[in-house]
Amino acid sequence: MPTVPERGEALPALRFALLEWYQQQGRDLPWRHTRDPYAIWVSEIMLQQTQVGTVIPYYRRWLAAFPTIADLAATDLEAVLKLWQGLGYYARARHLHRAAQQIMANHGGQFPRTYEAVVALPGIGRSTAGAILSAAFNQPRPILDGNVKRVLARLYGLPIPPQQAEAQLWQWSAQLLCPQSPRDFNQALMDLGATLCTPRQPLCHACPWQSHCIAHHHRLTHEIPRRMSRSPLPHKEIGVGVIWNAAGQILIDRRPPRGLLGGLWEFPGGKIEPNETVQECIRREIREELGIEIAVGEHLIDIDHAYTHFRVTLHVYYCRHVSGTPQPLACEAIRWVTPEELAQFPFPKANTAIIEAIRTRGRPTP
């Protein structure tokens, strides 16, 4: 039977084993070569919903484009979103931008060093604040991201889903944290979750915590963390118009700055109402949102895309502008652009397949 890790006497052994493993097996990541809180903050935000391998080139490009908080704060949001394009969850980029402006206004351009000030910035929760403060300033702040929850749930044999045991998990993370080496300890914990204690088939034989781990001891690693029963994601059907004018330009609009995909450009359209055809939906949406009349023409593409809380299917049609001057009635801005100019604007991921389809199909048949 493993030593119950909660007992005080096991803590030094757990810390020592993890730190020793990290010395030998820790990953060499670009943000581990700096103590600059700004660079570490950027990496932590990018890593929130994205794998390390995808993050690295974005992280490098970001720091080359915006080397300091002042550079980021002074940049137009659209340029920031363009650089983020492809990483998804664009609220992260908007929060970074807004937080940089707040740091300029309230902290003299210096990334704050207190937990209260850091967690007050947009887009930074308790775990991200802990990760930044421990990595940049070696402060003893616990972390609890998805990987860490899985490791702790297994180590302690948590019998319920982690979502129902947040307070307990925070307590374990704080209790385990090495007070002498919080920076290395948190980085090591992240590495353990990412490389050994993986969701499926954890590599327990190589794990520094194997002899303490309750899930491993009871052969429960495939059952812990326990899962919540999930209801299926709601599904929305959306009609989308690629509206061409006589000059061979396409109409795009920019979403309002807040909310889902805020500040990004898109092709206009909206939700298909019950008993409405896709064509009727597109005509109605364009009339309501832009105040113009169009003719719906050939089908271009259907795209399925899943967001965190719902799925969408986009039914995309080529349309022809018939009458009226477009107005931004339900969006922030509108613009007629050539197909070649589309690449200059930040679009949500689901829309990049539309742009590719336009490139392949070309202009509508007359």
Catalytic residues: 44
Count of helix runs (H) and strand runs (E) in the chain: 14, 7
CB 6 within 8 A of CB 156: yes
Q: Closest CB to ligand SF4 among 97 and 216?
A: 216
- Closest contact distance (angstroms) between CB of 26 and ligand SF4 is 15
- Closest contact distance (angstroms) between CB of 222 and ligand SF4 is 10
For ligand SF4, the binding residue among 155, 176, 282, 303 (CB under 6 A) is: 155
- Three-state DSSP class for residue 186: helix
Q: Closest CB to ligand SF4 among 13 and 56?
A: 13
**Residue 363 backbone dihedrals phi, psi, to 5 degrees:** -70, 155
Contact characters 212-231, ligand SF4, x per CB under 6 A:
-x-xx----x----------
- Closest contact distance (angstroms) between CB of 130 and ligand SF4 is 20
- Pairing mode, strands 250-254 and 265-266: antiparallel
Say how far apart CA 275 and CA 251 lie, in whole Å.
27
The answer to the question of residue 321 lying near ligand SF4 (CB under 6 A) is no
For ligand SF4, the binding residue among 151, 243, 282, 354 (CB under 6 A) is: 151
Cis peptide before 122 (omega within 30 of 0): no
Q: How many CB atoms lie within 10 A of CB 149?
A: 23
Q: Closest CB to ligand SF4 among 111 and 170?
A: 170
The answer to the question of residue 154 lying near ligand SF4 (CB under 6 A) is yes
Residues between 259 and 278 that touch ligand SF4 (CB under 6 A): none
Q: Closest CB to ligand SF4 among 93 and 213?
A: 213
Contact characters 161-180, ligand SF4, x per CB under 6 A:
--------------------
Q: Closest CB to ligand SF4 among 18 and 342?
A: 18
Of 264, 237, 241, the C-alpha closest to 358 is 241
Residues between 184 and 213 that touch ligand SF4 (CB under 6 A): 196-197, 202, 204, 207, 209-210, 213
For the packed helices 10-25 and 182-191, what is the interaxial angle rounded to 10 degrees?
Answer: 70
**Residue 207 backbone dihedrals phi, psi, to 5 degrees:** -85, 135
- Closest contact distance (angstroms) between CB of 133 and ligand SF4 is 25
Say how far apart CA 346 and CA 338 lie, in whole Å.
15
CB 116 within 8 A of CB 139: no
Q: Closest CB to ligand SF4 among 82 and 154?
A: 154
- Closest contact distance (angstroms) between CB of 205 and ligand SF4 is 8
Contact characters 335-364, ligand SF4, x per CB under 6 A:
------------------------------
Say how far apart CA 27 and CA 215 lie, in whole Å.
25
- Closest contact distance (angstroms) between CB of 211 and ligand SF4 is 8
Size of the site for ligand SF4 (CB under 6 A): 14
Q: Closest CB to ligand SF4 among 209 and 265?
A: 209
Say how far apart CA 3 and CA 1 lie, in whole Å.
7
Say how far apart CA 133 and CA 116 lie, in whole Å.
11
- Closest contact distance (angstroms) between CB of 141 and ligand SF4 is 22
The answer to the question of residue 58 lying near ligand SF4 (CB under 6 A) is no
Dihedral angle, C-alpha 316, 317, 318, 324, nearest 10 °: -100
Say how far apart CA 100 and CA 115 lie, in whole Å.
17
- Pairing mode, strands 265-266 and 235-244: unpaired
Q: Which residues are near ligand SF4 by CB under 6 A? A: 151, 154-155, 196-197, 202, 204, 207, 209-210, 213, 215-216, 221
